[in-house]
Amino acid sequence: MLKDYLRLHFIVFLWGFTAILGKLISLPPVELVFYRTLIASVGLIGLLRLRNMPWRVPAGQALRLVGVGALVAAHWITFFLAARLSSVSVCLAGMATLALWTSILEPVLLRKKFQPYEILLGLVAMVGLYLVSQAEFDQLLGLGVAILSAGLSALFSVLNARLIKDHPPLRLTLYEMGGACLSIMVFLVARPAFGGPLPSLDPTPADWLWLLLLAGVCTVYAFSTSVELMKRLSAFAVNLTINLEPVYGIVLAVVMYWLAVPGFGQEKLSFGFYAGTFIILLSVLIHPVLNQWQLRRRKPTADEAVSLVER
């Protein structure tokens, strides 16, 4: 069990490292995500073949998965764009609003009841966001793009909550990565016709190294390992640990600043930023604890009862 928890924290650490990689790669955000999804799609095909898992789905379901993949592409593009427009730390502070977005979108799209404690935690997170925005006013655009990216992430996560019931996780991810790659390819081809720049698809040797690390390790490896761990660890433990992703990312960004790595000069931030980020992260970490408490108070469903017994 200890080994599983250590592996889980390592995976979350890798996810926290993605914003750092986005800063290190010289490609524009759209082209960066194109290569990430292309390499990840090839890796997932190889993984499915290695495990002898079927990957074909009916055309109608494939279109739905590809459509969600386009949302994934929009999320990643705005995520890397936010890291370029501001510091990595400010970007991750905005991304920490994912739980707030989910608490709003899940009841609306899945027709669930709004939970009073989620509304309260959302208000607490808004206070934290206000402190961050006031402390780093010159990085406000990057913060706004990061908050938008968190909303897109919450949207496709809520949609995946339905789709995961009908598709194995690896197959679902393959179609979504393929859909993201295809949608970006169409965008890159059409962009010059509307006065946009030509695609910049010429990575440097260093870019290839970071891209392979981003797609192969932080996407394919991290996802497949997280699916394996979910067979033995409770959903509560997994979700609570994933909430630490912004913490790991901000710590890594500060370390890069201390090491004087080019591109990380904005990581020297004010006390107000850290106070606001602490409030946001506190609301994020408290959320699954209150959710678990609420679950134990009411009569659980059959699936929830099995989950509680496992814990």
Ranges assigned E (strand) in the chain:
none
Q: Which two tokens stand for residue 124?
A: 């607490």
Q: Which two tokens stand for residue 128?
A: 């934290």
Alpha carbon of residue 137 to chain centroid: 25
CA angle 85, 86, 92 (to 5 degrees): 115
235: exposed, middle or buried (Cβ count in 10 Å: 0-12, 13-18, 19+): middle
Cβ of 193: how many Cβ atoms within 10 Å? 7
What lies within 8 Å, CB to CB, of 61 at 6+ separation is 166, 167
Q: How far is CA 138 from each of CA 23, 125, 267, rounded to the nearest angstrom?
A: 18, 21, 13
Max intra-chain CA distance, the chain: 59
Cβ of 157: how many Cβ atoms within 10 Å? 18
Cα atoms found within 13 Å of the Cα of residue 282, Cβ hemisphere only:
14
Residues belonging to the chain: 311
Please report the pLDDT score of residue 10 as a whole number. 93
Give the phi and the psi of residue 173 in degrees, each rounded to 5.
-65, -35
Please report the pLDDT score of residue 309 as a whole number. 38
Q: What pLDDT tens digit does each residue of the chain (311 aa) get?
A: 778 888 888 998 999 899 999 999 999 999 999 999 999 999 999 888 888 888 888 888 899 999 999 999 999 999 999 999 998 989 998 988 887 888 888 888 877 777 788 778 888 888 888 888 888 888 899 999 999 999 998 898 888 878 877 888 888 889 999 999 999 999 999 999 888 888 988 999 999 999 999 999 998 888 878 877 877 776 666 766 777 888 888 888 888 888 888 878 777 778 888 898 898 888 877 877 787 777 777 655 545 444 433 44
DSSP letters, 62-117, are: HHHHHHHHHHHHHHHHHHHHHHHHS-HHHHHHHHTTHHHHHHHHHHHHHT-PPPHH
Amino acid (one-letter) located at 190: A
Please report the pLDDT score of residue 304 as a whole number. 46
Cα–Cα distance between 31 and 235 in angstroms, integer?
34
Amino acid (one-letter) located at 236: F
Cα–Cα distance between 175 and 167 in angstroms, integer?
10
Alpha carbon of residue 111 to chain centroid: 24
Q: Which two tokens stand for residue 9?
A: 């924290």
**Is the pTM above the cut of 0.75?**
yes
Cα–Cα distance between 305 and 311 in angstroms, integer?
10
Cα–Cα distance between 83 and 246 in angstroms, integer?
13
- Decide: helix, strand or coil at residue 261: coil
